[in-house]
Chains A and B, each alone.
Chain A
Amino acid sequence: MPASVTRDVPVRPPRALTVIGVLGGAAILLPFVALVAGVDLTRLPRLLTSPAALDALGLSVRTSLAATAVCLVLGIPLALTLTRLEFPGRSVARSLVLLPLVVPPVVGGIALTEAFGRRGLVGEHLHVLGLEIAFTSTAVVMAQVFVSLPFLVVALEGSLQTRGEAHERTALSLGASPARTFRTVTLPLMAPGLLAGTVLTFARALGEFGATITFAGSMQGTTRTLPLQVYLERETDPEAAVALSLLLVVVALAVITLAYGRKRVTIS
């Protein structure tokens, strides 16, 4: 395309589409505006500093950080394997990795119970060894890893595919070992996807609800994360639920700003 002709013409979508786009934005933002409007500011400090709320926040942050770390350890090699290794059934494998993104989290929770529950496929053997996962914070982290790992893998795959293999091939042909090539070439290539992916992974882990309540249970300080606390407060104290929801939104907003605010990062 002759760049000189098109360079100075700003690209604009048709006006009608912009109007619909604004409606789309409102569909996302309006509920949050209503949430903020529904907060009782005089009660807010007390609601947010109740022992139950602080326990839930602390647990949520700790488990989400742990889940993000596990996702990085597992997700980087997984994304590399899926993009850089030729093997039969690779495209099927790449689709399967996305399953937790599309199944309802409660289904994920049931699947985790079938696998790691006391009578599960793997859990049965762990139980014999005296390892119990259900009703522990470990179960919370496992549920979070299950639902958020695909976010990291998708982001990393995106980076790896857009940048191509040329740089790595050059490094290898110049005699660098695969390990050195990974460290000095592949990893930096992944950087943009890694940042965005890590942020999304953390945010998804923080918001995890369905798989956690199904697989891990709900106990203050051990398994009752912030989303579970919101769900429970809703029963008796809707105002407390609104206040805690606001807290989750603020944390999520902070996380997104941290990653996307510095510079625009595309994830695919």
Chain B
Amino acid sequence: MRRALSALAAVSALATTGCTGGPAAQDSPAGDVTLTVFAAASLSDVFEEIGEDFEAEHPGVTVRFNVAGSSGLVQQITAGAPADVFASADEPTMARAVSAGAVSGEPRPFASNVLTLVTPPDNPAGITSLADAAAEGVDLVVCAPQVPCGSATATLAGDAGLALDPVSEESSVTDVLGKVTSGEADAGLVYVTDATRAGEAVHTVDPDRARSAVNTYPIATLADSERAGLAEAFVEHVLGTQGQEVLRHAGFGHP
């Protein structure tokens, strides 16, 4: 029994050290610095591009991204995952990181995103408005209210005075997009940037009042960062002309 217990202790010790050496472990050669950025899933492509620009401006710096749903990222950060910068898809999620004491300084808004209605390219249900998509017999797919794009969906439906009757409430906006591009769903509510990224794979219907539900993306440096100066420089780069240009190009709005 004692042996079993000490084995358990050894395992938990391993688990703990494994944790502190986690995703941002420094494995780069001496002189090089790695900056770890935790970014919301919808930022994946655009932040890759911004990261490359930033690396070009800062020789010897490597930017690494951990891209996931904003809520999941907050959990990882508060659980001690080593990260330097956090960019969230909405303000309530960032507020959770702030109240957990994980953020240094004030989060700053750097982009905005609005919802849009997408259908398969041939628009089989002939949808031209949000009301069409809410009609009975239409397979509408949306985000679940628990995730940022879902709360934006609820706001949009409320403003339009419509009761949506979705056949599925997905956990992420990419799952909504997948259901539309595969032709399973007649329509889906996704971010404008997702529709831009999907290109020819979807037909976009700009619903009335879509601008009423705007998600603001905040970015902040993290309290546990060991490269505070560099983290701040990255945030400045995202807010600067070059970063903003890349964001606009991907369909993001002004903060």
Q: Which residues of A contact B (CB under 8 A)?
A: 19, 22-23, 26-27, 30, 113, 117-119, 134-135, 213-214, 217-220, 223-224, 228, 231-236, 238
Q: Give the chain B neighbours of A213 by CB distance below 8 A.
A: 170-171, 175
Q: Give the chain A neighbours of B30 by CB distance below 8 A.
A: none
Q: Which residues of B contact A (CB under 8 A)?
A: 3-4, 7-8, 10-12, 15, 69, 71-72, 75, 139, 141, 144, 146-147, 166-171, 175, 178-179, 182-185
Contact A236-B71, Cβ < 8 Å, known A30-B11, A213-B171, A231-B171? yes
A22 touching B168, Cβ below 8 Å: no
Across chains A and B, the number of contacting residue pairs, with CB separation under 8 Å, is: 77
B184 touching A118, Cβ below 8 Å: yes
Shortest distance between the CB of B52 and any CB in chain A (Å): 29
Picked from B11, B166, B178, the residue with its CB within 8 Å of the CB of A26 is B11
Q: Give the chain A neighbours of B8 by CB distance below 8 A.
A: 26, 30
A135 touching B139, Cβ below 8 Å: yes
B3 touching A22, Cβ below 8 Å: yes
Say whether chain A's binding surface is mostly helix, strand, loop, or mixed: helix
Which B residue's beta carbon lies closest to that of A134? Answer: B184
Which B residue's beta carbon lies closest to that of A223? Answer: B168
Shortest distance between the CB of A73 and any CB in chain B (Å): 27
B167 touching A135, Cβ below 8 Å: yes
Q: Give the chain B neighbours of A220 by CB distance below 8 A.
A: 169
Shortest distance between the CB of A104 and any CB in chain B (Å): 15
In angstroms, Cα B85 to Cα A103, docked, is 35
Contact A23-B10, Cβ < 8 Å, known A117-B184, A219-B169? yes
- Name which of A23, A218, A235 has the most chain B CB atoms within 10 A of its CB: A235
In angstroms, Cα B146 to Cα A214, docked, is 19
In angstroms, Cα B240 to Cα A99, docked, is 50
Picked from A118, A134, A232, the residue with its CB within 8 Å of the CB of B146 is A232
